[in-house]
Chain A
């Protein structure tokens, strides 16, 4: 037992020697969002949206008088590589950049065209930057996205993240793609990936706190289209409807809203249905070396609104409604699929499935997969059941009509 005393002595000496990794909370600059641009001088421009804690939690206002200071500040640095650019920040920031709470990475279209490999590598390599950040792409400069303020959510970075999550949950057209999912898609057999787009609608940009006073802002942050990446580089865009079709094919639809006409003949969309569950099974089918894509979607939902004069208690009327909705879903899915075919980008994971189902065939097909994908026909089956019609048994139009005759 003589060992204890010397061991304790040594341990205490070690402790007194100091603490290396200590970083007080007030020595941190918490970044809520990061933006990556590629400027004309062939340099990476990395901008950070840094949160000012005291401005946000007014509760501790006694310290700073709570002057309406803007909750975030944005500054950017240039550098040959991404990490190089980030190191530049030490020249101007009094505090150490802290990326763990970073929610969103916005990449400019220019940088995306150049390829996202360096960004993914820097995120997966460092333990400090989490790979569960969401990736978004934007047409104009990513830096301007960061500067834009939001009304409901004080921290815009969080706001974008929440908007994407809610959209994903309630409409499921634009999937939320985080860094490791992006890597997963790019390293998949097809080397293609999809990222949602974010843009500022309206001008001028809202960048100072005073403007937050009025009830509606001149410009807002909005989710836009769906960007398609081929071999890690930006190849094209998909509209929201096409994005919904792709979401159906990728079986990523949690809940969405479909509006359909009363009859195939009338174009105007009169009925609105909320799709509550949609399971998609896509399997490549091989005949000889001809490949067709067999897709089967089983979905059900609730009727939200209809303007066709129907008595919903009769099953005939229900069947008519269901068929219209089914027709509409088929249109959406086909438009999405053909859009990806035009871009020759297999984003629905067909390559992986072919690789898994027909390994041998895959090795032959792999080299010119993009071209082959463009030719593969889609054989689509959709089943839709209307579970509930809400609180009234007849459409108001019918009741209205009946009253007259």
Chain B
């Protein structure tokens, strides 16, 4: 059978592209809006995200025979559209990779390595991502699968260790927050879940591209489930008021674990695993950018060149676009909106284009194929 990605590996890739930085940012965002009902907004977000994922999966699944997404697109809706689409997607993946890198580095600087210069951290991460992309998406997806199993294991471990300290009463009074708040709370997770759009690029690499929808829906549901878990844990441990106070509640959770005399201060172990998942996320995004550029400019064999160029650009962009703190709020909102635009609107326009020009584009494609 063709050696491609299985559904599980593809699902793991989807999880690994959303989860790492979402793990960092979503709890604070959701809890700011819908304090003790935050977990309801995560459920709402999962529902909406699931819908988007289903559509993306269906759209990706339609090109069945493993031809890369942009070629398939140019075949169906003409080269100009494919070219523009490719460029837009490449830019999106690139800017999103740099943002993820930014958040990752800022977290590391606070918690793990305060005095190591940014350049070193960024250089190591980008080099790693380039090496991973050099090995191809199949390898990355397989590692994502291994890491997914590890992450699920760790989540259950946190729940078991923190169970004794949780107070269910902090969740009451349920439903105090208005629907508006809950919906606002759900906005950020939905933006993050829209990153599942990478399925469009990954689907051709699957052993059976027809199963793309199943993979991406399962991926988004699992991510939604994990997010709900974190929010619930944070709420039940710290209560709605203290959580708003903390910047990284998901890691604060773990630093509170005290079990027996020796199992204390073990948040470093969780950060270790979380770092690997971030490496995977950045390499997936880098793959997206490189793949799109490679397809749009029809560069055969120039993979190494593109890879190095993009890597360098990413290092520069990440280290200089250090946002000043005061406009963090606007900055975060703008980035969320950009996620929505590129992950949902652009694919929608591409689908529309492929649908409208079906006559001319597909005839040529039909002749081409027979």
Contacts and interface: CB of A to CB of B under 8 A. Distances in A.
In their complex, do chains A and B touch, with some C-beta pair under 8 Å? yes
Interface of A: 1-4, 6-7, 10-11, 14, 17, 20-21, 100, 124, 127, 130-132, 180, 183-184, 187-188, 352-353, 355-357, 359
A14 B308 CA distance: 17
Interface string B292-327: 000000000000100110000000000000000000
B258 interface: yes
B245 A187 contact: yes
A10 to B, nearest CB: 6
A14 B120 contact: yes
A7 B127 contact: yes
15 contacts: A3-B130, A3-B307, A7-B127, A7-B130, A10-B123, A20-B116, A124-B245, A131-B256, A132-B258, A132-B264, A184-B239, A187-B245, A356-B169, A356-B172, A356-B173
Contact of A2 (B113, B130, B304): B304
Interface string B117-135: 1001001100100110010
Nearest to B174: A356
Contacts of A187: 239, 241-242, 245
Given A20-B115, A127-B111, A180 B242 contact: yes
A183 B246 CA distance: 11
Interface in B116-156: 116-117, 120, 123-124, 127, 130-131, 134
Contacts of B258: 132
Contact of B176 (A184, A357, A359): A359
Instruction: Identify which of B117, B252, B256, B265 gathers the most chain A CB atoms within 10 Å of its CB.
Output: B256
Given A7-B127, A10-B123, A14-B124, A359 B245 contact: no
Given A124-B245, A355-B173, A356-B173, A21 B113 contact: yes
Q: Is the interface of B mostly helix, strand, loop or mixed?
A: helix
Contacts, number: 72
A58 B279 CA distance: 45
B110 interface: yes
Interface in B251-283: 252, 255-256, 258, 264-265
A130 B255 contact: yes
A154 B123 CA distance: 46
Instruction: Identify which of A2, A17, A180, A353 gathers the most chain B CB atoms within 10 Å of its CB.
Output: A180
B238 interface: yes
Contacts of A356: 169, 172-173
Contact of A359 (B116, B134, B173, B308): B173
A21 B116 contact: yes
B256 A180 contact: yes
B127 A11 contact: yes
Interface in B46-84: none
Nearest to A120: B245
Contacts of A353: 169
Interface of B: 110-111, 113-117, 120, 123-124, 127, 130-131, 134, 169, 172-173, 176, 238-239, 241-242, 245-246, 252, 255-256, 258, 264-265, 304, 307-308
Contacts of B169: 352-353, 356
Given A3-B307, A356-B169, A188 B239 contact: yes
Contacts of B127: 7, 10-11, 14
Contacts of B111: 127
A369 B171 CA distance: 22
A262 B361 CA distance: 99
A-B complex: 5 closest residue pairs judged by Cβ atoms: A187-B241, A356-B172, A3-B134, A20-B116, A20-B115
Nearest to B244: A187
A187 B243 CA distance: 10
Given A180-B256, A183-B245, A130 B265 contact: yes
A132 B127 CA distance: 37
Contact of A184 (B115, B124, B131, B242): B242
A1 B135 CA distance: 8
A130 B258 CA distance: 12
Nearest to B131: A7
A232 to B, nearest CB: 13
A356 B265 CA distance: 33
A100 B266 CA distance: 12
B282 to A, nearest CB: 15
B120 A17 contact: yes
A254 to B, nearest CB: 13
A337 B168 CA distance: 25
Contacts of A132: 255-256, 258, 264-265
Contacts of B173: 355-357, 359
Contacts of A20: 113, 115-117, 120
A131 B255 contact: yes
A357 B111 CA distance: 39
Nearest to A121: B245
A11 to B, nearest CB: 6
Given A7-B130, A127-B110, 10 more contacts: A3-B131, A7-B127, A11-B127, A14-B124, A14-B127, A21-B113, A124-B246, A130-B265, A132-B258, A357-B173
A14 B120 CA distance: 7
Nearest to A17: B120
A11 B124 contact: yes
B157 to A, nearest CB: 18
Contacts of A352: 169
A17 B255 CA distance: 32
B170 to A, nearest CB: 9
A395 B256 CA distance: 48
Contacts of B113: 20-21
Contacts of B114: 21
B255 A183 contact: no
Contacts of B239: 184, 187-188
A4 B120 contact: no
Contacts of A127: 110-111
Contacts of A21: 113-116
Instruction: Identify which of A3, A100, A188 gathers the most chain B CB atoms within 10 Å of its CB.
Output: A3
Contacts of B123: 10, 14
Nearest to B243: A187
Contact of B238 (A7, A10, A17, A180): A180
B264 to A, nearest CB: 7
A130 B173 CA distance: 31
A357 B242 CA distance: 21
